[in-house]
Amino acid sequence: MAECGDLCVEAVKTALSVGYRHIDCAHLYGNEVEVGEALAQAFNASLKREDVFLTSKLYCTMNSLNKIDNYVRVSLKNLGVSYLDLYLMHWPDISAFGDATDPPSKSGTEYRQFLNRLKKAWKAMEGLVELDLVRAIGVSNFNVQQIKELLKFAKIVPAVNQVELHPFWRQEELVKFCQLKGIHVSAHTPLGVPTSSPGPSDSGSGEDEPGTPRISFKRSRSVHGPMLKLSVVSEIADKLKKTPEQDNYTIGIRT
């Protein structure tokens, strides 16, 4: 979610009113105050806190890793709640200026420094669970190697790895590895990133996955129909048979 102002408040209120129960936030999105306002209005009506699953994400510079508990407290204040259901490390590594970066190569001083930052950050994340500020912790945009490194010292295994995952970039190796380790894979941009070409986004693999239909997002909204019928999406829908809205969603895939 990256909208701000009244539009964001109304969007969240509408989503909650029609049955949405997972709100995926992040400090980086810059709209937690607006999401919190929408939640407050919903809670003042009939919705209960325990009915909503709230996610947010850590995003800080390497110079402020000792202030991670402060970051989550700011998110809690902005959202108007006392705890988060899930708190994710937004990116494997961060620059001194707070920019998301890919970790250095798997050897040398820079890589060891990256591992030290990761270990320090994850230890602080684990502390958030002990403080009852968050119910679960996880990661985002981590690949197989980075998760392997994390598991070498993690006392709490990440509950979730949220990554770009869609028919144009299925990341089958990563998904299978996470499943093997008991880590739930959550997809962001699950229908792909709108571009002028049918390939993956810049953060993708650079090539279409084998067997993926070459569909252009700019042709029409009907692009979602063929994509939703792919097995990787259908499997997710089958797990969502909890409400009439979700049942209708699944039926729509099969028609």
Catalytic (active-site) positions: 29
Give the C-alpha separation, 125 to 66, whole Å: 10
The tokens describing 224, both together, are 């979602």
Cβ pair 233, 167 in contact under 8 A: yes
Local structure of residue 93 (DSSP, 8 states):
E
The runs of H, that is alpha helices, within the chain are 5-17, 32-45, 68-79, 109-130, 144-151, 172-180, 224-228, 231-238, 244-254
Give the C-alpha separation, 171 to 147, whole Å: 14
Cβ pair 97, 144 in contact under 8 A: no
Biggest CA pair distance of the chain? 56
Return all residues near 232 (Cβ < 8 A) that are at least 6 apart. Answer: 165, 167, 170
* Percentage helix, strand, coil for the chain under 3-state DSSP, each rounded to 5: 45, 15, 40
Cβ pair 174, 181 in contact under 8 A: no
